[in-house]
Structure 1
Amino acid sequence: MSSFSVLVPVLNGAEHIGDALNSVANQTHGNLRVVVSDNASTDATLELLDSWRDRLDLKVIRQPETRPMQEHFNAILDQVRTDHYMLLCHDDYLAQPDAVALADQALIDHPDIPAVYCDLEYVNADKRRLATRRFPRGALFAADTAGRETLRTARNMFGVPIGVRRSALGDLRYDPRFHYTMDVDLSWAMARGQMLVHIAQPLIANRYRAGNTTWQLLNKSRGEFLALHDKYGIPLNPVEHVQLSARIWAVNQQKKIFGLFGRMFEWLG
């Protein structure tokens, strides 16, 4: 029986999901279960998935109709059967062949830790490296500190989990109130008041491309950050409201510029 699950939600991902699956197939961890949930794709995603059945311990779920993103992600979380898992977006990929092995071992070595995080490699649509995001923290960090820093900076200071303990997830799922900040909210909800592990290596490649959902959600960010303040009991005075709005605006502009930077590399070949 597999000891670690890699969950891959996909919608019309034929162009990039092969990179994600190839990165999983090349892992040194020898006991992986891969669950792909297809959100009623209309491209060649299903045909491509069929070609991977001989290389991976692969389960493919076909949604009968396209579901909202949080609902779709929650549906695949319901499929976790192993003690440890990670969720890998179909257009991202594992940046090192020992990524899962490192995450799995960290969860084994720290049995009271809910999840493991890592540095991130940002790449463009053609897998050309744009930047590396390193998180300035130790091997152990407090979830509440990461949450508060997220609210202070208007940036996700958790990062992307490379390994999660199923018992920490429990009945928690993505909150339908959050879209832009859905990963922050679930990370914080799973680990509130607890410590987390950080591996100071870029183990996940996060692909920046024109079709990223991020660009469509930027206009929701201010309302969602205010909702996070409310949910986690961190009040704002009038001055802090203005400061938050200014930080969110600045971060959104930075993301737009970074997106243009990535597309420029695509145009230049």
Structure 2
Amino acid sequence: MVYSPSVAIVILNWNGKHHLEQFLPSVLSTNYGNYKVVVADNASTDGSVDFVRSNFPKVEVVVLHQNFGFARGYNEALKRVEADYFMLLNSDVEITPGWLQPMVELLESNDRNAACQPKILAYKNKRLFEYAGAAGGWLDAYGYPFARGRIFDVCEEDHGQYDTTQQVFWASGAALLIRSNVFRQLNGFDEYFFAHQEEIDLCWRLQLSGFKLFCCPQSIVYHVGGGTLPRGNSKKTFLNFRNNQIMLAKNLPWPEKWWKIPFRMALDQVSALKGLLSGDGGYFIAIIKAHLAFCRWCIFHKRTKRTYPLAPIKSLHGICQGIIIWEHFVKKKTRFSEIINVDN
């Protein structure tokens, strides 16, 4: 009998009954020999828990007593789940036949392969890469995230141009397969983040700890995207800008940190001013609040002790040495392959 590592597909839900009704049946059709499905509910008020228990009795349900957000929500839920691998999956994802096996095989091929994501395409237009991860996440040297197949808000059509398995800087939290022991070794997500960019922070810490991350394009899923906080929402803007600064402060070594963070804050202020001049006062205020919140974090937040050394960002996989905003907004490059050699 062939051994199959156990996989827990864990869906974190908050008032997403409509997504569970639509997409949970596809998840339950997963063709893999040793898996279970867990719905972790972040104190929903839309009847999600009763719906799952009534209609999907094989699905395990973990009930959390309040909305902990993405980061702490998963941390709390996964304390109650046992498996060799955790497959963190958004509730608005449609899977495809055989999606899980290639990712498990990739991670099983080497003990240092700690996490990976599938190729993520848009549910509403299956020819396009989806914003949240596309074909694997990269970072520029100043902390701006982008992905193979997605530069800022521009998502490419999928023509198989990123169909090679590649190491990446970060794997999307929308569909993230990770070794359970490694997730626990690094204490999971940083709960201060609440939501947004917590998976990038985790992946950064994984690399600093000597692990590798991949996109596995042999696996394909379709993601609706947007979630509970669609792009353009002021709270989402606040969390993205605040968390990005915290991530830099946590993971950059001092020779880079002391100048890159002020430089990034200056670039953020330019973006905020541009938003204000274009009539988006909410965007401007959200960035100002994010910077103030970051300053409070620097002063008051208690740091946890690291078990790994920091390293120059250029020494890590999935890093663009330039400034992605210059490449995109000034030089007008809209495709990943125009900025990074696709063989990387």
Q: TM-score interval w.r.t. the shorter chain?
A: 0.7 to 0.9
Distance 2:72 2:136 in 1: 33
The answer for the alignment partner of 1:177 in structure 2 is: 192
The answer for the alignment partner of 2:237 in structure 1 is: 218
Cα-to-partner distance string for 1:144-203 (whole Å, 9 max, x where unaligned): xx4x43844343662325421112112412213323211211222233243223212462
Structure 2 residue 32 is matched with structure 1 residue 29: yes
Kindly tell me: are residues 246 and 13 of structure 1, through their superposed partners in 2, closer, same or farther at Cα, counting changes over 3 Å?
A: same
Between 71-80 and 200-209, report the one with greater CA deviation. 200-209
Cα-to-partner distance string for 1:28-74 (whole Å, 9 max, x where unaligned): 112211111122222131232124435x4x21122234334432221
Q: Please give the TM-score of this superposition, normalised by the length of structure 1.
A: 0.74
Q: How many Å apart are 1:88 and its aligned residue?
A: 0.9
Distance 2:29 2:171 in 1: 23
Distance 1:212 1:150 in 2: 27
The answer for the alignment partner of 1:83 in structure 2 is: 84
The letter for the 2-side match of 1:217 is K
**In the alignment, which of 140, 160, 164 is matched to residue 149 of structure 1?**
140
Q: Which residues of 2 match residues 154-233 of structure 1 at below 5 A?
A: 154-155=145-146, 158-160=170-172, 161-171=175-185, 172-178=187-193, 179-192=195-208, 193-201=210-218, 203-209=220-226, 211-212=228-229, 215=233, 216-233=235-252
Give 1 or 2 for the bigger CA radius of gyration: 2
Taking only the aligned residue pairs, the percentage that are identical comes to 18
Kindly tell me: are residues 195 and 210 of structure 1, through their superposed partners in 2, closer, same or farther at Cα, counting changes over 3 Å?
A: closer
The letter for the 2-side match of 1:97 is P
Distance 1:247 1:107 in 2: 39
The answer for the alignment partner of 1:119 in structure 2 is: 119
Q: Which residues of 2 match residues 49-68 of structure 1 at below 5 A?
A: 49-54=52-57, 56=58, 58-68=59-69
The letter for the 2-side match of 1:11 is W
Q: Whose relative contact order is higher, 1 or 2, with alpha carbons under 8 Å and at least 6 apart? A: 1
Q: Please give the TM-score of this superposition, normalised by the length of structure 2.
A: 0.59
Q: Count how many residue pairs are aligned between Structure 1 and Structure 2.
A: 238
Q: Is the contact made by 2:64 and 2:77 (CA closer than 8 Å) also made in structure 1?
A: no
Kindly tell me: are residues 79 and 53 of structure 1, through their superposed partners in 2, closer, same or farther at Cα, counting changes over 3 Å?
A: same
- CA-based RMSD: 3.3
The answer for the alignment partner of 2:106 in structure 1 is: 106
